[in-house]
Every structure is written in C-alpha cells, then in structure tokens.
C-alpha cells in the first residue's frame, strides 16, 4: 500500500453551501464509495436529485430537512437518516438550516425509501452499543444497517469518550468493505490523530484530524485517538465490495498483536 497524506485526507469539507461531492471513485482509490455534503438554508430553496444507478443515504448532523419522494414527505433531524434507492428522484429542502452528509454507492437492488430515526436507534441493542472500556470507550450507532434493505451501504457514527481511542483494537476489512471517516462535532481546539497502516512498524498514514475532515480508508488498520479534553466523533461510511453479502459490520480482521483485546 502506498499512501500519501494529501490523497487520503480531505480537509474542511463542510465549508461550502449547496450540494458538493468531496470523495468518489473518480478522485480517490475507492472503487464504490462516494461522500458529499448538502448544506442548505431556507433561502436556498429545494434542490432535486436523482439517484440513478446509485443508492444514497443522507445523515443529518445539524438542523432539519424534508425530503419529498413520490409526493410523500419525510422529515429528518439531527442524527436521523434517510435511505434513497436507485432510480429515485427526490426534493430536499429546509425551513431553517441543515447540514447533511451524503453517502452513495452503485446498486442494482430494488428497494424502498427508508426513514431512520435516531430516537429508535439509540434504544435498540442491535443498532447501538457501548463498546470498549477506558481508555478506548465509545458509543457506536448503526443508522444504515441490517434494518435497511441496502445493497452496499453500511453507515453509522461513533462518539468517543474524552481523550480515548476509538476503532480499537486496530482492525481492517479491506477484502469486504472500503470506508470513509468524517469527523464532526469537534469544535476548536479539539482534534484527534488518525492512523491508517498495513505495517505497524512503518505506519503509512498518521495525521491530525479536525471537524469536517474526511479520511479515506480503502485498506489498512485505522484506529484513532482524541486529544485530552475532547472526544473523537465521526460518521463512518462503508461500501461492500460484493453487493448484499458484505454488509456485515462485525466482519473484521483484528491486528494480531491485539487479538486479546475485546471491542
């Protein structure tokens, strides 16, 4: 694996209003997964999208948005998500302000629009878990998981405890899923350090990450750690290499030196 920091780290991806693509197979080593943002105000009006050959998931990290699909209206707020299957048109708007994470991947699966509410996820033991212990304690929430009939996408978010590691023990899933981390809810001066490596003796990627930075993870172990006084929080977005069969969150290979440590 040959990693150059400038190619695997995309900084400040939340600075532009409107709909923007930041990571996709055309500008990265990823083959399937794309990441973008939709940032709207009431004055922006509605925008129209068509998913085409992709399935798309939108995750709300600030504000509220409404989606209109086939004349039906869906409303999402902070930490809610909506899944849009392929060949589907929708209108997106807001009555105030909204910041949406957009994640997509190719799909030929026939599915349906699915609304995912954080209020239900947080009380579901299959979709929310308290993982690890000090100093690698965190909360993990799965938004687009087994309850959504997606083809490739698997999406959620992790909230790390103050000064703790997350994505620990180090693990990788290059043979089944590629991934992007988007760091959020880390206001200045908060920061973390992200590692991505195949050789622990010669780590290829070690980089400071801050709010709105995105890290591309096509392969390699990928733990991170927060600076004292803050936690690492990130949206994790994955696309299965093989449609339908690679959407298994727990299917990982743990770094051999840390196999005695539980998640």
Provide mean pLDDT across the span 113-137. 97
Mean pLDDT rounded to a whole number for the chain:
95
Secondary structure of the chain: what % helix, strand, coil (to 5)?
A: 5, 45, 50
**What's the pLDDT at 98?**
98
CB atoms within 10 A of CB 86: 20
| Whether pLDDT at 262 is above 90 | no
**What's the pLDDT at 4?**
52
What is the per-residue pLDDT across 49-94, written as a single tens digit (0 to 9) for each?
999 999 999 999 999 999 999 999 999 999 999 999 999 999 999 9
**What's the pLDDT at 224?**
98
**Residue 182, burial from CB neighbour count under 10 angstroms (0-12, 13-18, 19+):** buried
| Whether pLDDT at 48 is above 60 | yes
Q: Parallel, antiparallel, or unpaired for β 165-166 and 214-217?
A: unpaired
- What string of DSSP letters covers 99-117? EEEEEEEE-------EEE-
Provide mean pLDDT across the span 107-133. 97
What is the per-residue pLDDT across 172-216, written as a single tens digit (0 to 9) for each?
999 999 999 999 999 999 999 999 999 999 999 999 999 999 999
Ordered domains of the chain (ranges, CATH): 5-256 (2.60.120.10)
Provide mean pLDDT across the span 15-28. 97
The pLDDT confidence band at residue 1, using thresholds 50, 70 and 90, is: very low
């Amino acid at each position: 694996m040959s990693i150059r920091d400038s190619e695997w780290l995309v900084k400040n991806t939340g600075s532009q209003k409107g709909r923007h693509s930041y990571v996709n197979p055309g500008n990265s080593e990823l083959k399937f997964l794309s990441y973008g943002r939709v940032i709207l105000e009431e004055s922006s009006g509605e925008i129209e999208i068509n998913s085409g050959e992709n399935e798309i998931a939108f995750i709300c990290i600030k504000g509220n948005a409404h989606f209109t699909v086939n004349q039906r209206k869906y409303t999402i707020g902070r930490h809610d998500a909506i899944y849009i299957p392929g060949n589907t048109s929708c209108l997106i708007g807001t009555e105030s302000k909204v910041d949406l994470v957009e994640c997509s991947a190719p799909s030929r699966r026939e599915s349906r629009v699915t609304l995912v509410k954080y209020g239900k996820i947080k009380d579901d033991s299959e979709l929310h878990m308290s993982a690890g212990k000090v100093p690698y304690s965190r909360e993990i929430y799965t938004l687009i998981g087994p309850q959504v009939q997606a083809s490739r996408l698997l999406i959620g978010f992790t909230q790390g405890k103050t000064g703790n590691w997350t994505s620990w023990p180090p693990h990788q899933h290059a043979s089944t899923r590629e991934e992007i981390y988007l760091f959020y809810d880390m206001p200045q001066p908060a920061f973390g350090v992200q590692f991505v490596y195949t050789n622990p003796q010669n780590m290829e990627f070690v980089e400071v990450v801050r709010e709105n930075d995105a890290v591309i993870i096509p392969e390699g172990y990928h733990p991170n750690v927060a600076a004292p006084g803050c936690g690492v929080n990130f949206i994790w977005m994955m696309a299965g290499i093989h449609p339908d069969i690679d959407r298994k969150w727990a299917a990982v290979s743990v770094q051999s030196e840390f196999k005695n440590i539980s998640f």
